[in-house]
Amino acid sequence: MRSIGVEEELLLVDARTGRPRNVAREVIRAAAARDAQDPAPSDEHGGSLGHELHRTQVETDTPPLERLSDLEDALRAWRERARAAALEVGARVLASGTSPLDGDSRVERSERYDAMAHRYGLMMAEQLVCGCHVHVEVSGPDEGVGVLDRIRTWVPLLLAVSANSPWSQSLDTAYESYRWQMQMRWPSAGPLPVLGSPDAYRRHVEAMLATGVPLDEAMVYADARLSALHPTVEIRTADVCLDVRDTVVVAALARGLVETAAREWADGVPAHDVASEIVRLAGWKAGRHGLTGELVHPPTGTSRPAAEVVASLLDHVGDVLRDSGDHDLVADGLDRLLADGTGARRQRALLDEADGEDAALARAVVRLSRETADA
């Protein structure tokens, strides 16, 4: 079974007002001090807690794991560790793709981030978004590129399943995932074309870098890419999920897509060479509607009801999910998401109910932060 690892970006908000707090350094220090006294969960589960682009964010990551139950345990442990450390400095952690409420958010200072701020200006300061990145093990670059070529039309559906950013800076955006809109502002973001080989992949990346627009290879913010650090395909489309169970569903689907694509590549099944512009439109539709309307159906490229498209996704990866013993968990998770909605529905229900009143909005965000870590 292929191992999977998950990176989650989490917001830090004021424990009273629900607005962004620039306390990432303090939270990470508090977590390290707690670790000195009690090394769990880092010893028990593996992984880490670290900085992200803004001082109002932290990032957790899990080690490579095979069993979904172990992945869920690790995700919950790291959310709890972040929650406990944040409370020590008067903050809470919130799993949301964007900050529901407005507030001062400062970019973390480092040589690299300073260079990015100089190059990208205001966009850098405004880029307060939190994603969920799933790493799935591959045997090497040949299989990795074969996988990338064959998952690209399906990857937008992971955004629809994870959609969790309907409000941004105290406004209802009308999107289920406004984070996707913000992410697409990066000039290097979006789907890769079908490339066919590691050499073609390398030439494509080098051509992007030759323009002088991305600062470095880490800024090739493709929907899915070969990891520069690990023997994995990294799928980057999903919002961070409010509910850890949804994160596990996203990770299982990502592994299912990778394994299905790897089998197709090994069997010589050609990649479906859909234009990148069409894949990008599918991403827009997933971000706009989540599971509430219609999505682009990958096999046909047409707009179809979300439930029908999700059923096609489950059918596409069904064989490998059965082989790994994950089919029932994923099927039940998708049924729950279609019935109850993604995190975006939960956010919008609480925030709309607040009706713009500051104290009620603060209570809504604090309530969402409690749901983030089941606390």
Look at residue 39 and tell me whether its pLDDT is greater than 90: no
Give 274-300 pLDDT, tens digit per residue: 999 999 999 999 999 999 999 999 999
Instruction: Report the C-alpha dihedral over residues 8, 9, 15, 20, rounded to 10 degrees.
Output: -170
Which pLDDT value is given to residue 42? 57
Percent pLDDT > 90 in the chain is 93
Task: Quote the CA–CA distance of 67 and 103 in Å, as a whole number.
Answer: 39
What whole-number distance in Å separates Cα of residue 354 and Cα of residue 348?
Answer: 10
How far, in Å, CA of 71 to CA of 58, rounded? 19
Instruction: Determine the pLDDT at residue 262.
Output: 98
**Is residue 328 scored above 90 in pLDDT?**
yes
Question: pLDDT (tens digit, 9 = 90+) per residue, 349-372?
Answer: 999 999 889 999 999 999 999 999
Nearest to 224 by CA among 320, 136, 310, 291: 136
pLDDT for 280 equals: 97
Q: How would you classify the pairing of strands 57-61 and 167-168?
A: unpaired
Listed residue (162, 163, 172, 165) closest to 98, CA to CA: 165
HEC states along 31-78?
HHHHHHHCCCCHHHHCCEEEECCECCEEEEECCCECCHHHHHHHHHHH
Radius of gyration of the chain (CA): 20
CA distance 187 to 202: 18
Q: Do 373 and 93 form a contact (C-beta atoms < 8 A)?
A: yes
Burial of 8 (0-12, 13-18, 19+ CB in 10 A): buried
Helix (H, G, I), strand (E, B) or coil at 9: strand
Q: How far apart are CA 4 and CA 1, in angstroms?
A: 9
Residue 38 has pLDDT above 80, yes or no: no
CA dihedral 15, 16, 20, 25 (to 10 degrees): -40
Rounded mean pLDDT of 177-203? 97
68-105: pLDDT as tens digits: 999 999 999 999 999 999 999 999 999 999 999 999 99
What type of residue is 166? P
Enter the DSSP assignment of 230.
Answer: S
Positive or negative, the CA dihedral 159, 367, 334, 331 is positive
d(CA 254, CA 72): 15
What pLDDT was estimated at residue 43? Answer: 59
* Pick from 266, 254, 245: nearest CA to 223: 254
Residue 171's Cβ-count burial label (10 Å; 0-12, 13-18, 19+) is middle
- Which residues make beta-bridge pairs with 237? none
Q: What is the 3-state secondary structure (H, E, C) of 97-162?
A: CECCCCCCCCECCCHHHHHHHHHHCHHHHHCCECEEEEEEECCCHHHHHHHHHHHCCCCHHHHHHH
Best CA proximity match to 225, nearest among 205, 208, 252: 205
CATH 3.30.590.20 fits 4-372, yes or no: yes
Give per-residue pLDDT as tens, 240-251.
999 999 999 999
Contact 200, 93 (CB under 8 A): no
Contact 8, 59 (CB under 8 A): yes
Contact 245, 332 (CB under 8 A): no
Q: Measure the CA–CA gap between 321 and 259, rounded to whole angstroms.
A: 9
**What is the reported pLDDT for 101?**
97
Using the structure block, give the residue that is written with the tokens 């450390």.
85
Residue with tokens 């104290």: 359
